[in-house]
Structure formats: C-alpha cells, structure tokens
Amino acid sequence: MHHFFVASEQIGEKFVRITGGDVNHIRNVLRMQPGEQITVSDGGDGKEYRCEIAQIEEDYVAAKIMWVEESGAELPSRICLFQGLPKGDKMELIIQKAVELGAAQIVPMATKRAVVRLDAKKEEAKRKRWNAISASAAKQSKRGIVPEVTRVMTFAEAVKYAGQFDKKLIPYELAEGMERTRKLIDEIKPGESVAVFIGPEGGFDEQEIELARTAGVEPLTLGRRILRTETAGMAVLSVLMFQLEAGKCS
C-alpha cells in the first residue's frame, strides 16, 4: 500500500487533501483510481491514517479517512545519529539508510578530522537536499514521522545537545572489547533515547573522545575490522533496531 506525507492542516475530520508533487505521482505514475486505499501521515505525530481515494483532480487528491492508528513502523525509542561530515555524497546515503533503520533525527557534525567544510550558503542548500532525502526515505519505509536533519553542529555543540539523551554511544577503535559493547547495548531498553556518534573518514580526534567521555558518552568497539564512516552508523543502528524491537515484542 502506498504511503504519503501531508501537512497537518491538510488532514480534516473526514478527508485528507493531498497536493503538490504527490498528485502527479498518484495520477500519472501510479495511475491510481478512486476506491483504492492509501496510508497518510503528517510526519510529526506518528499517527497513520488509512484512507480511500475519493476524488482525483488536476491539483489535488481527496481521500476519505477510514480509520486512524499509531504507526507500527516507529521504534520504541528515539535514536539520534550524530554523523561527522563525510566526503562526496556519502551523507545522502547515510541519511537514507539511517531513516530506513529507524533513526528519529540526524545531526551532521563538523569535527576536527572532517575534510568537508560548509559555508552558510552551501549548508543551507545541503540541508534542504538532506531533508528531502529523509522525507523520501520515510515515505518508502512507511515511517510515521519524517526524521529531521538538523543544522551542522560543531562536535562540542553536538555533545552538549546529546545531554538530553538517556544513552550516548561513540564507536572508537581503541575502546574495550566486544563484551563491553554487548553490555552497553543490552542495557538499552525500549523508551530510552539513544545518541550515536560516528566520526568522519579520519575518525575522531583524541581530544574529541575525551570531551565525549567527560560528558558521559560511552566508547564502544564494533569489532576487529575498521568500518567506513558510511558503514559504522548503519552497523550500530541495525543492532539497536534489533535490540529495541526484540524488547518491544518480549
């Protein structure tokens, strides 16, 4: 079943009004007809509206609300991925996969060893692109929300921002063995918020690791192999998804 996001004001008591690019997608790409069912979310409250298309016009689609339920696609915990800025277009892939794996927010970080440096104009354009990718990935994976990609933060700003999270993790090649990693992951329970810090291609500077430790961020190892920046975050998110979903179902 196809899933669409709309603004909250487009959801009425009995009908949802879909506008913009999704109208062309419904009419000319999917070639949907009145009577077919879709799901709709406003991208913020986690609710899913099961609807039946009632009317397809040139500039809007009207869908009758059949019932409303909480989206079953959301993890029982809020996970934020703090990602050191990578080279090239890797950030786009990272955002797409992080959203698919259940991240609720992505924070790009300007770290000491990051090669990429964005000025204000470039950052604005990048952030617009990144949030569009997040919205597309959320639609594809039938998320109940559209995860936000925030402004680029310095590492110090990111560590301070992460103070609101219950658990804070930072993969680091010099961290203790897998037993400690397993213990840290096992301690995370559904309902607890989690911050995950991933370094850029050059990894984290030792001073950054020390700053993170001081702020209560727990270093952990991801094994004997050195993972690329675009792989490390996905490895952690995959493990967390399994851990939290298993806890939710137990």
pLDDT in tens, the chain (250 residues): 889 999 889 999 999 999 999 999 999 999 999 999 999 988 777 788 999 999 999 999 999 999 998 767 788 999 999 999 999 899 999 999 999 999 999 999 999 988 888 888 889 999 999 999 999 999 888 888 899 999 999 999 999 999 999 999 999 887 778 888 899 999 998 999 999 999 999 889 999 999 999 999 999 988 888 889 999 999 999 999 998 987 554 4
**Residue 54, phi then psi, degrees to nearest 5:** -105, -30
Q: Which amino acid is at 198?
A: I
What span, in angstroms and rounded, lies between the C-alpha atoms of 52 and 41?
14
Tokens of 34: 């009145």
Beta bridge partners of 195: 80, 168
What's the pLDDT score for residue 1? 84
Is residue 19 left, alpha or beta, with left meaning phi > 0 and alpha meaning psi from -120 to 50? beta
Q: Where are the domains of the chain?
A: 3-70, 79-249
What's the pLDDT score for residue 250? 47
CATH for the 79-249 domain, from 3.40.1280.10, 3.30.2020.10, 3.10.20.600, 3.10.129.10: 3.40.1280.10
Report field, pTM of the whole predicted structure over 0.85: no
Q: Are 3 and 43 in contact (CB under 8 A)?
A: no
Q: Does domain 3-70 have CATH number 3.40.190.10?
A: no
